[in-house]
Amino acid sequence: PRGGRAGGARPPRSSAGLRASVSAAPRGAPAVPASPAMGHAKRKNGKRNPRGTKKADKIHGQRKGKKGEAAQYITRAQAMSKLQVSLADFRKLCILKGVYPRDPKRKSQGLDKTYYHLKDISFLSHEPLLQKFFDLKTFMKKFKRLMGRGERDLAEGLESRRPDYTLHHLVRERYPSFDDAVRDLDDALSMLALFQALSGDQKRGIPVAAINEATRLYQEFQLYVIRAQALRKVFASVKGYYFQAEVCGQSVTWLAPHQFAQELPPEVDFRVMLTFLEFYRATVKFVNFKLYADLGLAYPPKVSGERDARSAEVASLEVDMREAGRAREELAARGEREDAEVATGAAADFGGSEEAAELQRQLAAAGRMKSTFRGLRVFVGREVPLRPVYFTLLCGGAAEVGWERGAAAGGSAGLGSAFAVESGKVTHQLVDRPPESLELRPGREY
């Protein structure tokens, strides 16, 4: 063996022994090359940056996602962690505040993440509703604990102190002016019309109180449209009935579904829809109050105490219209005079221009809709959809409307109807059955 040692090659020296041999080497002798371990020790002592780290200068000292466009967005999980809320509360807060996800060009956390703007999340962190959500969460913990212990008396006392909140400040915040609220009525009315056609479902989390309030608010808006003669267009389709009304100079279009038994699809998240409904109820309540005040009417309107469950909406509208029939006629006459004055002023200002011609066409169409059914007394058969037909007839100027729907056994008129089917005042009768099965009466059109 080399060097006279038995057992093979010489064992490697340690770094300490290497440094000792270098210091003990005579002057002028060749230097021993430094080992990698020696350089690693120097870097570890701080003389050099560890391998793999970025230099702390202006060029290489920026961490990914800390500056530029990527730093302006955070993921949904990061937003929930920042606000300390659950996913359900985060969705509800975003819907009520009008905060929606963004689509940044550079997605620093991956393409499968949902991103929100950092300023939007900072905006949510100052919302007073956030504290209400925390209070409700604490309340539910205490309530469930008492119910689990069987202390129902204490649980009932705690239920009376349940934290509550309102959305009035959110309506004023999202709609600084009344015109902004009217401009956003399309979705609100469509949502109210949808839920007023549903029934409460405890399994799907649809409360009956929300359905009743949606029906009442939608009914109140319909009453305003009837009083103001504001309906302009109606269209029936497979999806439902499209209505367009002119409210404060703006066109409002909404969709009302057919009055059939609705099946609730399992893939629809009704918790999200109920959150939208909660905000839309507060918005429509504000709008209805302002519209009624402009017409000089008391809000909320009075309805009849005797209401049939199958025609409650129509009966209540009919009661209000009977009490102010003369006022409705005077309002229609005043509207015609105002339209004539507007047409005369437009002709004087614009002459024969295209703007004047378009204004004349709009006024003529509005006038036709107001007087389409003027003076008619219509009876609606049992098989005809009553709510949209009744609403359209009164908006078109019909004098009175009677109906057979909801009539008792052997009766010919429903509860709240203006007249029976055999009345001599009827000028038109709406039916949807074969002519041979009808008892045709003289003096009326079918």
Q: What gap in Å lies between CA 243 and CA 395, rounded to an integer?
A: 11
Extents of the domains making up the chain: 69-127, 168-301, 325-437
pLDDT the model gives residue 181 = 94
Q: What gap in Å lies between CA 420 and CA 432, rounded to an integer?
A: 18
Sign of CA dihedral 374, 378, 383, 385: positive
**Residue pair 432/383 in contact by the 8 Å Cβ criterion:** yes
**Residue pair 253/354 in contact by the 8 Å Cβ criterion:** no
Percent of the chain at pLDDT exceeding 70: 69
Q: What gap in Å lies between CA 311 and CA 405, rounded to an integer?
A: 7
The answer for residues whose C-beta is within 8 angstroms of residue 377's C-beta and 6 or more apart is 398, 399, 400, 401, 402, 418, 419, 425, 426, 427, 428
Under-50 pLDDT residues of the chain? 1, 3-4, 7, 18, 20, 22, 37-38, 40-44, 54-57, 307-310, 312, 314-315, 318-319, 321-323
The counts of H helices and E strands in the chain are 16, 8
E strand residue ranges, 216-265: 231-236, 241-247, 250-256
pLDDT the model gives residue 371 = 78
**Residue pair 244/253 in contact by the 8 Å Cβ criterion:** yes
According to DSSP, residue 312 is labeled: H
What burial letters (b/e) apply to 300-336, b meaning 16+ CB within 10 Å? ebebbeebbeebbbbbbbbbbbeeeeeebeeebeebb
Sole residue written with tokens 């209070």: 135
pLDDT the model gives residue 319 = 42
pLDDT the model gives residue 101 = 93
pLDDT the model gives residue 88 = 92
Local structure of 242: helix, strand or coil: strand
Q: What gap in Å lies between CA 335 and CA 370, rounded to an integer?
A: 9
Structure tokens at 299: 């809000």
- Virtual torsion, Cα 279, 298, 392, 397, nearest 10 deg: -160
Amino acid letter, residue 18: L
DSSP assignment of 41-85: HHHHTTSSPPTTPPPSSTTT-PPTTSSSGGGGEEEHHHHHHHHT-
DSSP assignment of 153-209: HHHHHHHTT------HHHHHHH-SSHHHHHHTHHHHHHHHHHHHTS--BTTTTB-HH
Q: What gap in Å lies between CA 242 and CA 393, rounded to an integer?
A: 15
The answer for residues whose C-beta is within 8 angstroms of residue 112's C-beta and 6 or more apart is none
C-alpha triplet 135, 137, 142: angle, nearest 5°: 95
Q: What gap in Å lies between CA 205 and CA 278, rounded to an integer?
A: 14
The answer for residues whose C-beta is within 8 angstroms of residue 185's C-beta and 6 or more apart is 247, 252, 254, 283, 284, 287
pLDDT in tens, 126-154: 999 999 999 988 988 998 888 898 888 88
* CA 150 centroid distance within chain: 39
Q: Which residue, among 357, 354, 331, has the nearest Cα to 343 in the 3D structure?
A: 357
pTM for the predicted model, two decimal places: 0.74
**Residue pair 384/393 in contact by the 8 Å Cβ criterion:** no
Q: What gap in Å lies between CA 107 and CA 105, rounded to an integer?
A: 6
